[in-house]
Amino acid sequence: MTFFFPNMNAPKFIVNTLCLSLFLLFNQTVSAVEIIASLDRNPVQITESFQLTFTATETPDDDPDFSPLNHGFEILQQSHRSNSSWVNGQSTKTMQWVLSLMAKQTGQILIPAIAFGDDVSQPASIKVTSTTVSTQSNDKDLFLDVEVSTENPYVQSQVIYTLRLYRKVQLAQASLTEPAIANAVIEKLTEDKNYDTQVNGVAYVVTERQYAIFPQKSGVATIEPLVLTADIVLSNSRQRFNGFFNRPATKTKRISSKAITLDVLPAPDSFKANHWIPAEQVHIEEKWSGDITNMKLGEPLTRTLTLLAQGTTVAQLPELLGISKTRHLKTYPDQPILKEKKSAEGIIAFREEKIAYIPSKPGSYILPAIEIPWFNTRTQQMEIARIPEISVTATGSITNPVAPPEIASPIPSIPASPEAISNRNVPTFWMWFSLFLASGWLITLFLFFKKPKTEAKETPATSQEKSLKASLKQLKKACSSNDQLAAKTALLTWGKINYNSHNLAEIAAHCEASLSDEIYNLNSTLYAKHAVSWQGEALFQLMTAHKANTTVSEMCSNELEPLYKQ
């Protein structure tokens, strides 16, 4: 952009320009408010409406100017809302401007930055596609359309299953079945979305719902049709009563979606890692609670590792930190934190591990690199999320705690009289009192052995412990005889007691990577297309190690507590 300043002398022009630049720079630095633009879904069809939301946590400079959107979009509706909250003595405020838009053309369309006075929102983009619904559907009042993100997924990778209910009639009530597919984990994603669209010039209201499906076995698998049962309000029905008791006449209609067949691919031979992680994106990072170049002897320094994976579940995430065997550097690992976040793009899995390092001798210690191999389902290539090797340095010396000095008694000592010294050899009151206590103890002991014994009542904790031991005993027997069904039954009992989990996938999510792999291996052999031999020795060995690690972690937690109280 070019500015012209006629009839202006050079010195005055330079001063004015400099002042204006400094003013604008200061104004942007001091009063800039972050305004984030977000979409309710992406991509959309050319005939569909969508929501564009602008969010700010501070009051912008002025009201927004949405006129730049008119170039590529039609603004159907707009609204403004704000929310304030007070948490832990701090006040937070959120303001949102929500617009209902419809694109004017297909392709990747830029959503320009919107000015809120001197504040500006972030730009965004949306992909607009042509209409994909069958033209034969436009004569129906009610129909279902389903699609998947891919029909050729890899085993245990994410498939986004999208359902759309199109209707141009009013529904009194409706019920819809859930998607069903053998040997798969199914998770419902975000809340349903409602928007308007057109199919061959006919207006419809659309309700969209999404699921994330993770096939657990390679081969052909079919997502069964969904069935909708709905009561349709008859527009030409006469009302029998008026006022509060009006109830429109309805008719019941049942419709079905199409079935979708998936050809699930096995893990490629080119993937050489031991732990199979199919995902769209994987990121690992670390944080330290202090300076790793100046660790203090005897004082803990905590390392936090965070692994994020998009397009997979927490059950697929491996263990990040093993047991360290570095001499003079004690380690105290904490229990991992496992979470999942659901969005329109699918599931983002989160695993966080913390470990406290306590050096007992000055020097430098090398912590090995951490590498997480994973398979990129977008590029179909193996990649590695990595934290490089790191060196930590311990300095100083451990000082022994000094006992506090004894406080002198404020009462002066009184010399013993000759009579008091002579009475030291005479039996005192305390001798007789001790004999009395001893006699009472003997009488109590006699009555205890004479009293008939009663059976101790079993507490719920004792009963649960017995059930846990029984399930492990059954698992050992099943693994020894390579009995898959018996091993599954024992694992389900064990998982329900320990984690309140009701299937093998949920149980595997609470276990370390190696044990999780064996549980999934058992699950895959149970549902194999052809009979597969299964060896249970490895599963029981890893289960024994898991039990031992759990006990050690509890002991470490109890030992670690006093270290933070010095």
CA count, 13 A, side-chain hemisphere, 219: 12
Q: Residue 450: what pLDDT?
A: 61
Confidence of residue 247 (pLDDT cuts 50, 70, 90): low
Quote the percentage of the chain above a pLDDT of 70: 73
Which residues on adjacent β-strands are paired with residue 171? 232
Region at 201 (left for phi over 0; alpha for psi -120 to 50; beta for the rest):
left
Average pLDDT over residues 60-87: 87
3-class secondary structure, 163? strand
Q: Which stretch of 50-59, 138-147, 446-455 has the lowest confidence by average pLDDT?
A: 446-455
- Is 83 domain-assigned? yes
Indicate whether 246 and 313 sit together in one domain.
no
C-beta separation of 172 from 251 below 8 A = no
Q: Which stretch of 210-214, 262-266, 548-552 has the lowest confidence by average pLDDT?
A: 548-552
C-beta separation of 147 from 56 below 8 A = no
The 10s digit of each residue's pLDDT in 63-73 is 999 999 998 99
232, 264, 296 - which closes a domain: 264
Asked whether the predicted pLDDT for residue 379 surpasses 90, the reply is yes
Average pLDDT over residues 422-436: 54
pTM over 0.85: no
**DSSP letter string over 129-159?**
E---S-GGGTT-SEEEEEEES-SSPBTT--E
Q: Which two tokens stand for residue 365?
A: 């210690």
- Is 211 domain-assigned? yes
Give which of 58, 38, 41 is closest to 49, Cα–Cα: 41
Q: What 8-state DSSP symbol labels residue 517?
A: H
Confidence of residue 423 (pLDDT cuts 50, 70, 90): very low
C-beta separation of 462 from 497 below 8 A = no
Which position has the higher pLDDT, 12 or 311? Answer: 311
- Could you tell me the CATH number of the domain that includes residue 340? 2.60.40
Indicate whether 123 and 140 sit together in one domain.
no
Instruction: Tell me the C-alpha distance between 304 and 354, whole Å.
Output: 5
Indicate whether 117 and 174 sit together in one domain.
no
Indicate whether 140 and 258 sit together in one domain.
yes
The 10s digit of each residue's pLDDT in 504-539 is 877 887 887 778 778 877 877 776 656 677 888 888
Asked whether the predicted pLDDT for residue 18 surpasses 90, the reply is no
Q: Residue 102: what pLDDT?
A: 85
CA count, 13 A, side-chain hemisphere, 541: 6
Indicate whether 82 and 123 sit together in one domain.
yes
Give which of 479, 476, 477, 505 is closest to 492, Cα–Cα: 505
First to last CA, the chain: 65
Phi, then psi, of 61 in degrees rounded to 5? -65, -35
Q: How many helices (H) and strands (E) does the chain have?
A: 8, 30
Indicate whether 179 and 95 sit together in one domain.
no
Indicate whether 259 and 306 sit together in one domain.
no
Give which of 324, 329, 323 is closest to 361, Cα–Cα: 329
The 10s digit of each residue's pLDDT in 312-327 is 999 899 988 765 567 7
Phi, then psi, of 396 in degrees rounded to 5? 90, -165
Give which of 311, 303, 302 is closest to 285, Cα–Cα: 303
Indicate whether 139 and 202 sit together in one domain.
yes
C-beta separation of 134 from 146 below 8 A = no
CA distances from 230 to 8, 139, 165, 198, 245 (A): 76, 18, 11, 22, 22
Asked whether the predicted pLDDT for residue 166 surpasses 60, the reply is yes
- Is 90 domain-assigned? yes
**DSSP letter string over 35-66?**
EEEEES-SSEETTBEEEEEEEESS--SS--B-
Q: Residue 517: what pLDDT?
A: 76
Q: Residue 434: what pLDDT?
A: 63
- Is 56 domain-assigned? yes
Domain that holds residue 114: 31-129
- Is 222 domain-assigned? yes
Confidence of residue 448 (pLDDT cuts 50, 70, 90): low
378, 395, 412 - which closes a domain: 395
Which position has the higher pLDDT, 418 or 45? Answer: 45
Number of domains the chain is built from: 4
Indicate whether 117 and 149 sit together in one domain.
no
Indicate whether 370 and 287 sit together in one domain.
yes
Asked whether the predicted pLDDT for residue 13 surpasses 80, the reply is no
C-beta separation of 490 from 471 below 8 A = yes
Instruction: Tell me the C-alpha distance between 167 and 203, whole Å.
Output: 9
Q: Residue 459: what pLDDT?
A: 58
Q: Which stretch of 201-215, 434-448, 466-480 has the lowest confidence by average pLDDT?
A: 434-448
Q: Which stretch of 16-30, 201-215, 533-547 has the lowest confidence by average pLDDT?
A: 16-30
Instruction: Tell me the C-alpha distance between 278 and 381, whole Å.
Output: 10
- Is 270 domain-assigned? no
Q: Which two tokens stand for residue 119?
A: 């504040």
Indicate whether 119 and 146 sit together in one domain.
no
- Is 528 domain-assigned? yes
Q: Count the Cβ atoms, other than its own, within 10 Å of residue 191.
A: 9
Indicate whether 139 and 119 sit together in one domain.
no
Phi, then psi, of 270 in degrees rounded to 5? -70, -15
Residue burial 51-70, b: 16+ Cβ < 10 Å; e: rest: bbebebeeebeeebebeebe
Asked whether the predicted pLDDT for residue 303 surpasses 70, the reply is yes
**DSSP letter string over 440-500?**
HHHHHHHHHHHSPP-PPPPPHHHHHHHHHHHHHHHHHHHHHTT-HHHHHHHHHHHHHHHH-
- Is 437 domain-assigned? no
Q: Residue 250: what pLDDT?
A: 75
Strands 329-333 and 346-359: antiparallel
Phi, then psi, of 52 in degrees rounded to 5? -115, 125
Instruction: Tell me the C-alpha distance between 492 and 486, whole Å.
Output: 10
3-class DSSP string for 174-222: EEECCCCCCCEEEEECCCCEEEEEEECCEEEEEEEEEEEEEECCCEEEE
237, 264, 291 - which closes a domain: 264
CB-based contacts of 547, cutoff 8 Å, min separation 6: 472
Quote the percentage of the chain above a pLDDT of 90: 37
Tokens 């029984």 locate to 470
Q: Residue 496: what pLDDT?
A: 86
